Structure 1
């Protein structure tokens, strides 16, 4: 475990979930994450971490860089960071925003915020989401992962409910894909690109995709009997995936901060090694930590 809030910051009373590392210089990364205030609304802030054999926190942002939206907006109840893209002199945060509901507990959609510097502040692209419910995604959407593979070749992988659901027993939440030429306006066909490994799974969320040679590797949170981190690989353009959980997955530990769940992964390269930031027990209530792949990496597909 690398970091958990001490409860003294108004926007970070608890939780360090959805850790999203951004390289600054040398071994220093700015790790953005979502945290909760006293009313359990989620904000986005950051800590600077030296990532090495013994990672350590160097600095903690005192104020949130992205707060819930005004009442009536799609993200007025909280923000869960999905991914960060550094491009064309600015940073883009793609995130999940949500409202609390009445007949259904919540409604989620995907938003975009931008900054001209790594320290923020971030400004919303729009008061509304860039992806919301639609004929392709009629129920609810969740954490997006965005890669820019070319000047006009943007890809997004995101979670989407496959059926209406009120509780976990009814949830069927899988991963889909969208494309864009500018990172703002997206097209989607509603097809599931990563589905369930067996009948015990009912939700896949927070995909993180990274290039490994000519292939793509995805890690994501799997919800079934307990939370764990699954994986899939793609040799094409990220439309067809093969589950490789037994090779690249990460289960909960036998004891400690991540003994009940390992969830919400974020893959990144550093010093020619593949690292993964992830959240622990209580959906990040015990903070976030790091895992690293030892030895050569060859995807089994």
Structure 2
């Protein structure tokens, strides 16, 4: 497959007190055939993450029609799992409701942060969202003892399926704790309570690899397809050869996957906003074309852009 880059869509520029830097982990929700809503995580002056959105022209996402002037969710109450950050994971449209899955985080002490997954639901077409609970719907457990994070969710025949980040360990690298994580699978009958069996879907392909993050899964013609980001453990913040790249895998059952990173069809640019890393891909379809939203340099500090699948190349 081959993705043709179309350029940057949005970068924060101190738009609001709570929107100082970053436009991270973009997710798309089509409002209608003319308008697309893109949710993303942004940071305030205290480096706390809040989620908001922009609306863009569906045929030309670089044409920004609206910038929302407040977060869609406030930070959690002091002491709750999301009192320091609320970042998007996925949005599911089901039974006339919008299910907004997000990760919440706290500032850590022995390690830099702690994360868990939450859920908020909208019954007014995304104008407002309400948490299902002040607590997380998925947190560290016997099977995920360190932490869990961003997830992708599909609903099939009444079964909710999720592919989520599971932290394997924190390890001291160059004098600081660094997280290691891969992708696991779980199911639910009610979108809230998840049956986890410790199933690893995408694991490290070498001893050098340390982070496999931000899964996005779709199903097409009986095949599950996943995009994710992967990096090493050393110097991934400063060395483009070690930093995040986008990977790709396929599966027949959604559980056993074959990595096909060399077929992903997109890489860092020679220069510009996505020349050091590319990460956090989200795929959507509009008028028969497949679009990819993704972040570039600085884990979203340089903003997010998009690419369109070249259908004349190998069909994925």
The normalised TM-score by structure 2 is: 0.90
Deviating 4+ runs (over 3 angstroms): 164-171, 296-299
Structure-2 change in CA distance of 1:289 and 1:191 (3 Å):
same
Question: Would the aligned equivalents of 1:229 and 1:249 in 2 still touch at CA under 8 Å?
Answer: no
Counterparts of 2:139 and 2:17 in 1: how far apart (Å)?
30
Match of 1:223 in 2: 231
Measured after TM superposition, the shift of residue 170 of structure 1 is 5.2
Measured after TM superposition, the shift of residue 6 of structure 1 is 2.2
Counterparts of 1:177 and 1:248 in 2: how far apart (Å)?
22
Question: Would the aligned equivalents of 2:218 and 2:225 in 1 still touch at CA under 8 Å?
Answer: yes
Structure-2 change in CA distance of 1:111 and 1:54 (3 Å):
closer
Question: Would the aligned equivalents of 1:34 and 1:45 in 2 still touch at CA under 8 Å?
Answer: yes
Aligned length: 297
Match of 1:8 in 2: 15
> 154, 158, 170: which one pairs with 2:160?
154
Note the aligned Cα RMSD (angstroms). Answer: 1.6
Counterparts of 2:292 and 2:121 in 1: how far apart (Å)?
24
Measured after TM superposition, the shift of residue 288 of structure 1 is 0.6
Structure 2 unmatched ranges of 5 or more: 1-7, 233-241
Counterparts of 2:100 and 2:143 in 1: how far apart (Å)?
23
> 267, 273, 285: which one pairs with 1:257?
273
Q: How does 1:140-289 map to 2 (within 5 A)?
A: 140-150=147-157, 152-165=158-171, 171-224=179-232, 225-236=242-253, 238-289=254-305
Measured after TM superposition, the shift of residue 92 of structure 1 is 0.8
Measured after TM superposition, the shift of residue 53 of structure 1 is 5.4
Structure-2 change in CA distance of 1:3 and 1:196 (3 Å):
same
Question: Would the aligned equivalents of 1:230 and 1:249 in 2 still touch at CA under 8 Å?
Answer: no
Cα offsets for 1:230-253 (capped at 9, x unmatched): 1111122x1011111111253211
Structure-2 change in CA distance of 1:99 and 1:180 (3 Å):
same
Counterparts of 2:289 and 2:79 in 1: how far apart (Å)?
44
Measured after TM superposition, the shift of residue 187 of structure 1 is 0.3
Higher strand share: 2
Is 2:315 the counterpart of 1:298? yes
Match of 1:52 in 2: 59
Counterparts of 1:161 and 1:233 in 2: how far apart (Å)?
22
Task: After superposing the two structures, state which structure 1 stretch, 54-63 or 183-192, moved more.
Answer: 54-63
Counterparts of 1:171 and 1:116 in 2: how far apart (Å)?
36
The normalised TM-score by structure 1 is: 0.94
Measured after TM superposition, the shift of residue 140 of structure 1 is 0.9
Match of 1:128 in 2: 135
